[in-house]
Chains A and B, each alone.
Chain A
Amino acid sequence: MAEEMSRKPYVRPMTSEWITRHPRYLRYMAREFSCLFIMGYTLLLVYGLKSLADGPAAYGAFLAALRSPLSIAFHLLALAFAAYHSITWFNLAPKAMPFQRGEEFVPESIVSGAHFAVWGILSLGMLFLAGAF
Chain B
Amino acid sequence: MAKSNKPIVWGPFAAGGTVTAFVTPALILITLLAALGATPELLRYEHLLAFLRHGLAKAAAVALVFVSLWSAAHRLRITCYDLGVRADGMVATVVYAVALVGTLASAVFLLRL
Contacts and interface: CB of A to CB of B under 8 A. Distances in A.
- Is A in direct contact with B (CB under 8 Å) within the complex? yes
Interface of A: 14-16, 19, 29, 32-36, 38-39, 41-46, 48-50, 52-53, 56, 59-60, 63, 66-67, 71-72, 75-76, 78-79, 82-83, 85-86, 89-90, 115, 118-119, 122-123, 126-127, 129-132
30 contacts: A19-B82, A32-B78, A32-B79, A33-B79, A38-B71, A41-B27, A42-B65, A43-B102, A45-B65, A46-B102, A46-B106, A46-B109, A49-B106, A49-B109, A59-B45, A67-B35, A79-B32, A82-B20, A82-B24, A82-B25, A83-B25, A90-B21, A119-B22, A122-B22, A123-B23, A127-B26, A130-B30, A130-B43, A131-B40, A132-B33
A56 to B, nearest CB: 5
B77 to A, nearest CB: 9
B93 interface: no
B62 to A, nearest CB: 10
Given A39-B73, A122-B22, A130-B41, A52 B52 contact: yes
Contacts of A72: 32, 35-36
A50 B72 CA distance: 21
Contacts of B24: 38, 41, 82, 85-86
B30 A126 contact: yes
Interface string B37-66: 111111101011100100000000100010
Contacts of A78: 28
Contacts of B73: 35, 39
Contact of A35 (B27, B28, B76, B109): B76
Interface in B4-37: 17-18, 20-37
Contact of B65 (A35, A46, A76, A131): A46
Contact of B113 (A34, A53, A89): A53
A60 B30 CA distance: 16
A29 B28 CA distance: 21
Interface string B84-113: 100000000000001000100110011011
